[in-house]
Amino acid sequence: METEPPNPNPPIEHRNNATTDVPSPENHLPDSSIKLENHRLDPQNWPENQLRAPQSTFDNHLADSLIEDLIKDSSQPLFENHLEESQNLSPEQNGPPAKKRRRRKKQFPEMIPSAVAVNGLGVLRPHAKSSIYSEKLMDEIIQMQINDNTSFSRNRRRKVADLAKEVDVEALIAISVGFPVDSLTEEEIDCNVVSSIGGIEQANYIAVRNHILARWRSNVSTWMTGDQAIESIRSEHRGSVSSAYSFLLDHGYINFGLAPAIKKAYLRPPEGSEKANVVIIGAGLAGLAAARHLISLGFKVRILEGRNRPGGRVRTRKMNGEGVVADLGGSVLTGMNGNPLGVLARQLGFPLHKVRDTCPLYLPNGEAVNSEMDSRIEVSFNQLLDEVCKLRKGMLEEVNSVDVSLGTALEAFRRTHKIAEDPQEQMLLNWHLANLEYANASLLSDLSMAFWDQDDPYEMGGDHCVIPGGNGRFIHALAENLPILYGRTVESIRYGVDGVMVYAGEQVFHGDMVLCTVPLGVLKRGSLEFVPELPQRKKDAIQRIGFGLLNKVAMLFPYDFWGGGIDTFGHLTEDSSMRGEFFLFYNYSSMSGGPLLVALVAGESAIKFETMSPVDAVGRILDILRGIFVPKGVDVPNPVQVVCTHWGSDRFTYGSYSYVAVGASGDDYDVLAESVGDGRVFFAGEATTRRYPATMHGAFLSGMREAANILRMAKRRSLVPVEKINNAREERGDLDEHETMHGALLRGMREPANILGVPKEGSLVPVENQNNATEESGDLYELFETPDLSFGSFSILFDPRSIDLDSASLLQVRFGGDKLVSGSLFLYGLIPRKHVIELSVVSGDGNRVRVLNRIYGVKLVGRKGLGSAGESFITCIKSARANLNGGVTNEPHAHRNFLLPFPCNRY
């Protein structure tokens, strides 16, 4: 993942996620023309602890001894046989094969992979099925779909057709998208796609669903209609077709993306289909995907984005030179099989550059690493991970499910089996550990041993690819024609039975629902207020899940001196604490439009990099590059431009992407994805998907998921037609930027339990409840007929016993008037006299309500909500007025001399 900051902004990467900020000042190196761009905030304002995962309470020494005991007690030999086999490899096998130096494939030996064969499905069309998921076949299928060249030979097509006889292509495509092979997803069960679980109806539904999905995936540039979906299915299965088509359409599995035919349908929903108003916070991949899908479903949408650009942690930066760009945030599409971003690339005609696997490694002195040692240590590293996977289950049983860090476990295995004791071997192993920290944006000491790889069963297969020209091309296309308001930093989300209010600076945005897509780092920082507070289980999940850091240095050179035959090369270091500093270089020359190198900074080094001088960073990188290439007779020039990212300092992210920290699990991602407020506040983003965390496609899919959840909730709440609700509101547009006081009440300012007579369901206070409140509060209305002070719709009764500025005052606010069919609605609050003084000089009722609620923290309530303190205060005022007026409490009292310590302006 990659990141950049001009203002402070961070990103997401490796797995495919990113976010960044605006460009920052450019610093020039003393004696060169290098342009340095260093994006960061004041380091003192950067919470380093936000980047570290929650620490386990489990004693590390106990963890070490426990792991070692488990290793010793294991009857299965761990490494000896494997190492002997590795050492006996032929010279050809020991040569430098193409190594996949990407994220280590993680394993759950006890889990059944989702990519298993289709067995016993009710077949609606004759088709042979296999019990094996063929990744090779999926690669062929995807390659054919991606390739826009129609000159595939007939022999090639026959070959695929022959393969399809052995393997159900449609089932494979469904598997690649994330559907189980012989069961329903939880979403399908929730949507009641079949009348009963199991049996022939479900089997037929699955076959129909796979057929529709595969048919659309074969031509993603068209909008598939319901009639087209049933064309090749027998008429008796029309019910299954209707159910599958509706589910796939509503959940964005078909007819999504940016092809002209689909964009036309997305941005022009059927007339009369408007269902509700949704405020979306964040214009990253999750927010953009959700917005487009919600609009296609008939919702009214407004996106609030704090930055002055869309994309979030996906940030493509224009460099010097014609068409030269650098992805500073999310950059790599990790797995093309089933990847929705791959669909977008096909629709837009974007070429894909496959990331080549060859990655030579270099020692600190610039010499190439011995290939035999390289292969041997890589085998040992993989075996270390394999053994951790095999033994962790027993370990967790021993310690009653208390987690330890992956780093602790790996080091214990390494010591016990004396792996990589030679200095060069240790450097090599450290490089692989740094690569693992890069993949997870985490220190291994913070990464959960038990669940660090919980998402692996769902990992999308296929090649890892990069989009020439940068992922900003996706963002630009997704953001086109969407209602995005930039520079709107959201500070507070208030929700209740009537809807939501979202505060951004001096503006308040109203909606029926809100979708929050801010990065986990922002939620951890607590800079976004929720009223009422989030449920404790969600707050706990936010704290448990880790949010890590990856930084990048993008360097544009005057020419390509490193050669274009490889996409990556690595550098080793002797200091294990610095193993992640510039350990991997990406060659972007063929994708960026110019001679561009990107150096990665992972693990502990990524945190230190936040405060490193960009001049120092460039100096260290040039030392590394010159150490590698100058001995080969290759001159290494100074770069002409350098951009450093500082995602940890970016106030819109405070990090790069999520990871499973010690004490966390995949369940925490599910909890973070749950809606709150009875379906008023929804959450999306890479940290809300346990299947695809820390990836760009995970963020995209989470937005589509929540759009479907919002649709389901809107149907349950029967928000259609919205007009019946809006007639009782300030005006038809729920998302007006400027709040009126009446709108504040009628559209969400009230907390659910704080307003007298508000029902648990429904959007407005029933008229009969308002009338009951009027009868019960008659004495209050009489008192407020002659207030001590009034301004706008606010009326005040002071404590008759004191003129102290801290003494209490009873506030009445009138809402509605001719806006409510039942007349005015009155709400109350107890506030200090000094706050009354301040409110009286605030201009406008809407602004007063905001000050009252957000600054003073006062919640307006009905008469009953005032409680015993309020009733006691009312009794005191009634008694004082009775004494003053000879027992008559409803006489005008303008003659009474209440001392006001400020000039009173009534308006």
d(CA 419, CA 447): 21
What is the pLDDT at residue 632?
93
* 222: containing domain: 107-256
CA distances from 263 to 145, 245, 682 (A): 20, 19, 25
Which DSSP symbol is given to 355? P
d(CA 625, CA 618): 10
pLDDT at 731 over 50: no
Q: How many CA atoms does the CB half-sphere of 487 hold within 13 Å?
A: 1
DSSP secondary structure string for all residues of 97-108: PPP--SSPPP--
What is the pLDDT at residue 322?
82
What is the percent of the chain with per-residue pLDDT over 70, rounded to a whole number?
69
What is the pLDDT at residue 728?
34
Q: What are phi and psi of 244, to 5 degrees?
A: -70, -45
Residues 92/350, Cβ–Cβ less than 8 Å: no
- Whether residue 369 lies inside any domain: the answer is no
What is the pLDDT at residue 550?
98
Residue 424 is which amino acid?
Q
Segment among 437-451, 584-598, 736-750, 813-827 with least mean pLDDT: 736-750
CA distances from 253 to 134, 247, 686, 736 (A): 22, 8, 18, 32
The domain boundary, picked from 222, 239, 256, lies at: 256
> 69 pLDDT band (50/70/90 cuts)?
low
> 848 pLDDT band (50/70/90 cuts)?
confident
Residues 350/477, Cβ–Cβ less than 8 Å: no
Which DSSP symbol is given to 485? E
pLDDT at 899 over 70: no
d(CA 712, CA 187): 10
pLDDT at 445 over 80: yes
Sign, CA dihedral 645-649-655-661, equals positive
- Whether residue 338 lies inside any domain: the answer is no
What is the pLDDT at residue 675?
97
Burial 364-382 (b: 16+ CB within 10 A, else e): eebeebbebbbbbbbbbbe
pLDDT at 484 over 90: yes
pLDDT at 327 over 90: yes
Number of domains in the chain: 2
Q: Which helix (H) or strand (E) holds 267?
A: none
Average of pLDDT values for 557-571? 92
> 251 pLDDT band (50/70/90 cuts)?
very high
- Whether residue 659 lies inside any domain: the answer is no
CA end-to-end distance (rounded Å), the chain: 56
d(CA 526, CA 657): 17
- Whether residue 181 lies inside any domain: the answer is yes
Residues 410/440, Cβ–Cβ less than 8 Å: no
What is the percent of the chain with per-residue pLDDT over 90, rounded to a whole number?
50
Three state DSSP letters for 401-454: CCCCEHHHHHHHHHHHCCCCCCHHHHHHHHHHHHHHHHHHCCCHHHEECCCCCC
- Whether residue 252 lies inside any domain: the answer is yes
- CA 147 to chain CA centroid, Å, is 31
d(CA 365, CA 627): 6
Nearest to 23 by CA among 44, 42, 1, 39: 39
What is the pLDDT at residue 258?
94
Assigned token pair, 640: 């002409």
More confident call, 599 vs 121: 599
Please name the residues in contact with 890: beta carbons below 8 A apart, sequence gap of 6 or more. Answer: 782, 785, 786
More confident call, 905 vs 50: 50
What is the pLDDT at residue 267?
64
- Whether residue 6 lies inside any domain: the answer is no
Which DSSP symbol is given to 850? H
pLDDT tens readout for residues 854-887:
788 888 888 877 888 888 889 888 888 887 655 4
What is the pLDDT at residue 72?
53
Taken as a whole, the chain contains a residue count of: 907
Average of pLDDT values for 444-467? 92
Average of pLDDT values for 823-835? 83
Please name the residues in contact with 172: beta carbons below 8 A apart, sequence gap of 6 or more. Answer: 133, 134, 137, 138, 141
What is the pLDDT at residue 181?
81
Average of pLDDT values for 36-50? 45
- Whether residue 55 lies inside any domain: the answer is no
pLDDT at 235 over 60: yes
More confident call, 182 vs 666: 666
What is the pLDDT at residue 724?
40
- Whether residue 807 lies inside any domain: the answer is yes
The domain boundary, picked from 256, 286, 302, lies at: 256
Across the chain, which distance is largest between two alpha carbons, in Å?
111
> 590 pLDDT band (50/70/90 cuts)?
confident
Average of pLDDT values for 252-281? 82
Measure the CA dihedral 61/66/72/73, to 10°.
170
* Mean confidence (pLDDT) of the chain: 77
The domain boundary, picked from 200, 229, 256, lies at: 256
Nearest to 507 by CA among 528, 490, 526, 532: 490
d(CA 207, CA 213): 10
More confident call, 738 vs 192: 192
What is the pLDDT at residue 614?
94
Average of pLDDT values for 709-738? 54
Report the CATH number at residue 153: 1.10.10.10
Assigned token pair, 874: 């009312």
Segment among 49-63, 350-364, 490-504, 809-823 with least mean pLDDT: 49-63
Average of pLDDT values for 640-653? 97
Model pTM score: 0.70
- CA 134 to chain CA centroid, Å, is 31
pLDDT tens readout for residues 166-202:
347 888 889 999 998 889 999 999 899 999 998 999 9
Assigned token pair, 397: 């049983």
> 716 pLDDT band (50/70/90 cuts)?
confident
> 402 pLDDT band (50/70/90 cuts)?
low
What is the pLDDT at residue 11?
38
pLDDT tens readout for residues 744-783:
443 333 333 332 223 333 333 333 333 444 444 567 878 8
> 272 pLDDT band (50/70/90 cuts)?
low
> 894 pLDDT band (50/70/90 cuts)?
very low
